[in-house]
Chains A and B, each alone.
Chain A
Amino acid sequence: MGSELVNSAPLPTYTEQFYKHFPFYLSIGMTYDQYWNDDCELVVYYRKANELKNARKNQELWLQGMYIYEALCCVSPVLHAFAKNGTKPHPYRDKPYPISAEEIKEYKEAMEKAKRKKAMAAFMTWASQLDLPDKVEREEVNADVRHD
Chain B
Amino acid sequence: MAKQITFEFEGKKYVLEFTRKSIEIMEKQGFIASDIVEKPVSTLPALFAGAFLAHHRNVKREVIDKIFDKLTNKQELIAKLAEMYNEPIMALIDEPSEDEGNLNWGANW
Contact = CB atoms under 8 A, between A and B. Distances in A.
B92 A37 contact: no
Contact of B88 (A11, A13, A14, A47): A14
B23 interface: yes
Interface stretch (A15-23, A56-64, A71-79, A96-104): A15-23
Nearest to A19: B24
B91 interface: yes
Nearest to A35: B20
Contacts of B21: 36-37
B18 interface: yes
B33 interface: yes
Contacts, number: 50
B20 A36 contact: yes
A40 B20 contact: yes
A21 B20 CA distance: 11
B19 interface: yes
Nearest to B19: A37
A43 B33 CA distance: 22
Contact of A40 (B18, B27, B34): B18
Q: Which size class do A's interface residues fall under?
A: 10 to 19
B92 A39 contact: no
Contact of B20 (A11, A18, A47): A18
A40 B51 CA distance: 13
Interface in A11-58: 11, 13-15, 17-18, 21, 35-44, 47
Given A41-B1, A41-B2, A41-B87, A36 B92 contact: no
Contacts of B92: 17-18, 21, 43
A86 B94 CA distance: 61
Given A14-B23, A37-B54, A44-B91, 6 more contacts: A14-B89, A15-B28, A18-B23, A40-B18, A40-B19, A40-B20
Interface of B: 1-2, 18-21, 23-24, 27-28, 33-34, 54, 87-89, 91-92, 94
6 contacts: A15-B28, A35-B20, A36-B20, A40-B18, A40-B19, A43-B91
